Structures are given as C-alpha cells and as structure tokens.
Structure 1
Amino acid sequence: MFDSVQDGGHDSSGVLVPVLIPWLFEWRYGGRSVSLCGSFTRWSESIPMSLAEGRDDVFQVVWNLTSGHHEYKFCVDGQWRYDENQPFAEGACGLVNTIIIAREPDMINSTSSSPTPGRSNMDVDYDIITPAVSLSHGTLQEAIPMISSVDLEVSRHRVANFLSTHTAYELLPDSGKIITLDINLPVKQAFDILHEQGLSVAPLWDFCKSQFVGVLSASDFILILKELGNHGSNLTEEQLEKHTIAAWKEGKLHLTRTMDGNGGSFPRRQLIHAGPYDCMKDVALKILQNKVATVPIIHSSRDGSFPQLLHLASLSGILKCIYRFFRHSLSSLPILQQPICSIPLGTWVPQIGESKPFAMLRPNASLSAALTLLVQAGVSSIPIVDDNGSLLDMYSRR
C-alpha cells in the first residue's frame, strides 16, 4: 500500500530537493477494484488501492506529495468517481477532488537565506502578519508563529464557500430527540425536565398560537436564581411551584425594560429561528448577531402552519460539520496548522486579547458572584484559579 519514501533536502550540488509528504487517500464507499489517479501522476498512472485492515468497504493508499495544489479521482470498478464528502472542484477532467498542501517553512527559509551566486539579492514580501504579543507568565515565552495572510485568506475563502453552499439540513443528526416545553408548564418542573434529560436549552410551544414562541435556557435559570436571591422572601413556596414559564418570560421582559431604562418601549423579542434549507452562513450569523447560543431549525408549510422542530443549531454543531468535511484534507485549511494562540479568538487574558477582561474567579467566590459574572461577561464558563493564576476547576452554565 505504501510507495517508496523519498527524503527531502539538498542534493550534493546544493540544489533544494522538494520535501515529499506522505498523504493517506481513502475511498470509503466499497467496490471490487479501486485505484487512484491524479495530477501528481500526470493523470497517466493509476495507483492501486488496498482494503483497510478489518474493513471490506474502505480502500486506502499512501502516496508522497509535494507542497502545492493537487487534483485526483478514483477509478471504482472501471468507473471514474470523486468523493462528494471531500473538497472538490471543476477541473480539466470534470469534477475532481482537491488538496492543497502548504509549503514547508524550512523550504522558504533555505531558499531565501542561500542566495544564488551571480544574482542580486531581492527583498521578497511574503505578506506575513506578525503577532502583536507573545504568551507570558512563563507558559510560552517564545514568539507566536507568524501567519501568512495568503494562508489566512485561503482558509477564510474555503470556510466561507462551505458555509454558503451547505444548508442547515446537514446539521441534523442521523437520530436523536428534541424536548419541547409548553409555556404553561411550571418553571420548576421545566428545569427538572432539562436536568433529567441533560439539556441546557429547550424550545417553548404556545398551544393557543400553535407556534414556537421562544426558548428556555441556562440563562433563564441564572436570572431566576438571581431574582430569588434579591426577592425570594416575597414569594411563597406555593407560588414558586406554580410559577409558569409564560409568567417568567413576562417578568423577564419587564426586568429587561427596567435594566435598559426604556420603560414600556422595549420591544418583545421575536423567536430567532432558521429553516432547514437556509445556508449555514445565515444560521451562524443569526447566532452571532443576536448573541444566542442556539437557533431552532423549524420546517413549516407555506402558510406557516404546522411547524416542525427539526434541530437546535449551535456554533459547535457548525464547527463539527466543517471538521467532518475537511478532516481528510486539513491542509486545505492552512490556518489549522497554527497554534490556537496565533489568532486569539474567544476570551483571553489582556496581554493577548484586548477586547474585554478575562473572566475568572477565586475558589472562595460566592455563587452570586459566579452567576453575575456569567451574565455580565457573556461567557459559558468561568475558570476557577488560585492566587498564582493556576487553573483549579471550571464553573459553567451546564
């Protein structure tokens, strides 16, 4: 299954020899005879593929590739095929799968640091984004690796293209269940159900309107605990047992109006949702722009009646879908080869991410302080650290 491996480097004359990178090709859809052909064989040689150990439907072969762009197809039982679940494009041979292998950094350095005699030295702008800072506190003193803006743009373009051409329907699992809560259900009982089912959010159904009207989430639970801490003595045990989701949502709306200082002018928020045929890009934008954790995927008839709840979409689900699509060709997203600190997405200490303070607590902090920080910082979890800043535990919404 393996072809002969060649080592990259310089030959005896000092000429740079391209580094060959072993690459695993897989055909996962069965067949009697499968072979591989591509631009790396100049489309003239077919490479036989062998069955993976213990499988009768997966064919594999490892072939050495140089850095750059490659195209390939599979010949399955005499028919040319391409894998729809891997990156593909229209090529000279029709639809073909594609791979982009980033150039090795040491190849760039060797080329630029060893000028050829008789030629003038030239300053080449590789368009590199330099990091603003490096990690401190002794965890990582060396500079963060530089990121090529070309690699960044290639990764951005491929992810954007994927999100624009794939729909929310692809986020649906093969099997599963979704819990929907009646708005007239007592809040206490609703949270008991969420706890028993291991859920942090559930859509709300209004039988009178025959439609989904909102969601009950961990944020509601946090706000209720804070309200009980402030005004718990004003509510009897019986009132707590009978307080419905609908009543809480009304009270939450009043609370929001009070906190925002808008009085009665604060608008009632509509349910943020998406359809199964909306592209993933639109779903992701709804999550980010509305600052929500999930977006219900709802299928309705043309007149809007009989809505069917299909799924609760989240950013983590979209990321999993992106990974499934690119997992066998991760080099086509060069940014994934970089350490996570090179692009400080998320929440970081001030030396790295300057946008907002890094939320963390000491072990002796009160529950009230933890709940308040979760809401104010808009985060899903808070690191619990000791006096030296070492991580002890995590306190999360779930």
Structure 2
Amino acid sequence: MENGLSAASTPPLPGKAAGGEPAPVATPPAATALQRHTCYDLLPVSYKVIVFDTSLPVKKALAALLQHGVQSAPLWDSVRMRFAGMLTVTDFINLIRHYYSNTSYDNALEEIEQLQISGLREIQQKMGLLRPRNIAIHPMQTLYEASKLLLKDHLHRLPLVDRVGNQETIVSVVTQYKILKYLAANAPGVTKLNTQLRDLGIGTFTNLATATAQTPLIEVLNIFIDRKISAVPIIDDKGFVLDVYEKYDVLMLAREGAFYDLEMPVCEALVKRAPDFEGIHTCTLSDTLGHVLETIRRMPVHRFIVVQDNMLQGVVSLSDLLAYLIEH
C-alpha cells in the first residue's frame, strides 16, 4: 500500500468508524423507550379532562381547580373554536402580583368577581408574562418528542391536542411526572441505577432560593416568578429545612379568601394548606438514581429536597431527572 501502510494497520480517529465515517452514538435506554411510545400510549383506559372556556370567570375556574385537586387546565376559545393555552397556578400568582402593585384591596375584590380568563390573559400580556404561542403536541407524537419540548420550553405539563384540518380536540395533558413514572415502571434498561446522586451531576446546589417562616408571602410569590421555580424551601436560621411552600399552596389562599393579605408570613399561609398535602420528598446525595425513580414510581413527586442531617443542600427537580435520563 502507499506509504507502506495498510488500511487495517491505521486505527480510526476517536469518534470515527474504520471507514472514516462518524461512529454511531448509542441512544440512551430511556430515550429509546420514549421514542417507541406515543403520548397516547401514556393515557389510561379511563380518564377525565378538565377544560375551561376562556369566557369562564377566573373565580369559578380557581374553584374548579381546587375541587378536582389539579394545578392546571387546558383552555378552549369557543369563539375561534380552538385550543387557547393553559390556565395554571402561575397565572393566578401573576394576577395577585398585578393587583398587589396596581390597585386597592376593595377594587381588587370587585374586579376579580367579574374577571374572565380571557381578561386575565390580557392582563398578563400587558405585563409581558404571556407566552407568545400556545404550546401543545399531537397525541401520536412520541414521548421523547414530548420530553424534549417540555425541557426546551421549561414546562411542567404539555397539552395533547389532536388537529384534523381546522378542527382541534383537546385530548389530555402529559406531565414530566407521568413520563418519569412511566420510565421508572417500564424502562428496565435505564443505566446507572446504582449511581449516587452526588456522581450524576444533576440538581441545583448553589444560589438556592429559600425563605424563612417569617418571610412575607409576597416575597415568596416574587421568587416563584423571578426564579421560574415551583417551590421554595422554608429554612430556619441554621439552614435546617422546616417546610416547602409550593405554587399549588397559593390556590388555598383563594379558598380561604386570603389571597390579598400578602404581607402575612409564609408560616401563616402554610396553615391554610390542603389537608391532603403529600408531604416533602427529601433525599441525600448518597441516595441512588434507582431509589429516586422507585419513589417516583410509588407516589406523586414534584421535586426532591436534598438534605444532610435535615440541613438544606440542594434541590433535584423532575426536569433535572428527565434531562439526565434521555441523555445518558
């Protein structure tokens, strides 16, 4: 051969196959499992979908969320006959902050009695807080596609909308938790199950958003929006975890009629929490990925508070876990 070298005697470059082509990259087991199944496959045989018309008063919508124990619902525009986005706890928090900054208590009470969901969305648009587009996915797209969209747009939930021509049908909602629960129960090929969290490189452990029991509620609501997080650990002056205030807890203020007393300490707001609160899910850095997934398989989880001897160390979110699983 030319230069005295045979093709077999020249090792391929790193990341290259012997023929000079890029070596194929193995697809992570979790990503493979999600690519093989559609969002429709995740739906139970029997289920209900709560959908709000945009003409519904906000007060009635909030009451319905509480009644059904859910944090969000798809919206339907009956004028345009199409999907119109999602109503979430974040929308309610934005409304509270708007009234807190721009009107009196009496005026706020009067306005919210009349305010429709469409009006709430107009307020958010003026505040620059409304998403520029309504994000949804077709139920026959894969769970992998849904996962990537959830992570890219920093969403906790994603509506499934079937489109045939100009006709749209809201089918259901897929969430990060549902996808992770599916993986925990149905993807035995997931690797590194025995790897400790400290070695996975996931989670937030610096610049943590926290509050104390005496922090005014309005400051916690501002943290939710400014930091784009769904829960704030409540700690004492030594850093020990006392509780967690979640976005969903804000809905309880509506039920109690206390959603304008925003100077109350967060410990007082926690007293109004729903009696069926699922509790705080904690873990340590020595817990394994398998242990965390088994917890998700057995019970509803929204995040893990990482502690050491009950002292706050960090937070591992569901998006942290989902992103890791589809990439490793």
TM-score range, shorter chain: 0.5 to 0.7
8 A Cα contact 1:172 1:310, kept in partner: no
Greater length-normalized contact order (CA 8 Å, ≥ 6 residues apart): 2
Match of 1:65 in 2: none
TM-score, length of structure 1 as denominator length: 0.53
Query: How far is the alpha carbon of 1:367 from its aligned partner?
Result: 0.2
Alpha-carbon distance, 1:268 to partner: 6.6
After superposition, residues 1-398 of structure 1 pair within 5 angstroms as 157-233=28-104, 235=107, 237-256=109-128, 269-301=132-164, 303-305=165-167, 307-326=168-187, 329=188, 332-347=189-204, 349-350=205-206, 357-398=207-248
Match for residue 145 of structure 1? none
The one-letter code matched in structure 1 to 2:217 is: L
CA distance in 1, matches of 2:72, 2:112: 20
For residue 314 of structure 1, report the CA deviation from its aligned partner: 1.1
- Could you say what secondary structure the match of 1:202 adopts? strand
SS in 2 for 1:161: helix
Between stretches 230-239 and 365-374, larger displacement belongs to 230-239
Q: Which amino acid in the other structure matches residue 226 of structure 2? A: Q
Q: Which runs of 4+ in 1 moved over 3 A?
A: none
Mapped contact 2:83–2:161 kept (Cα < 8 A): no
Q: CA deviation at 1:211?
A: 0.8
What count of residue pairs does the alignment treat as equivalent? 223
User: Would the aligned equivalents of 1:165 and 1:279 in 2 still touch at CA under 8 Å?
Assistant: yes
3-state SS, counterpart of residue 368 of structure 1: helix
Task: Tell me by how many angstroms 1:232 deviates.
Answer: 3.0
Q: Secondary structure at the match of 1:287?
A: helix
Residue identity in the other structure for 2:154:
K
SS of the aligned residue for 1:178 comes to coil
Q: Label 1:268 to 1:375 Cα distance change in 2 as closer, same or farther (>3 A).
A: closer
Aligned amino acid, residue 313 of structure 1: V
Identity across the alignment (%): 26
After superposition, the C-alpha distances for 1:284-304 in whole angstroms (9 at most, x for unaligned) are 111111122211012232x13
Over 3 Å counting, the alpha-carbon distance change for 1:300 and 1:377 in structure 2 is: same
The AA in structure 2 aligned to 1:372 is N
| Aligned-partner SS, 2:193 | helix
Question: CA offsets per residue over residues 145-183 of structure 1, 9 Å max, x none?
Answer: xxxxxxxx97x6111211222111112123221111110
SS for the counterpart of 1:184 is coil
Q: Which has the higher helix share?
A: 2
Secondary structure in structure 2 of the residue aligned to 1:389: coil
Q: Give the SS at the match of 2:128.
A: helix
Q: RMSD between aligned alpha carbons? A: 1.9
Distance 2:198 2:210 in 1: 19
Judged with a 3 Å threshold, the aligned counterparts in structure 2 of structure 1 residues 342 and 367 are, in CA distance, closer, same or farther, namely same
What is the one-letter code of the residue matched to 2:169?
Q
In structure 2, relative to structure 1, the CA distance for the partners of 1:372 and 1:291 (3 Å cut) is same
Structure 2 counterpart of 1:263: none
Flag structure 2 segments of 5+ consecutive residues without an equivalent. Answer: 1-24, 249-328
CA radius of gyration, larger in: 1
Point out where structure 1 has 5 or more consecutive residues left out of the alignment: 1-152, 258-266, 351-356
Q: What letter is aligned with 2:235?
A: V
Per the TM alignment, residue 191 of structure 1 is displaced from its structure 2 partner at its CA by: 0.9
Give the Cα separation in 1 of the matches to 2:97 and 2:197.
35
Superposition deviation, residue 341 in structure 1? 2.6
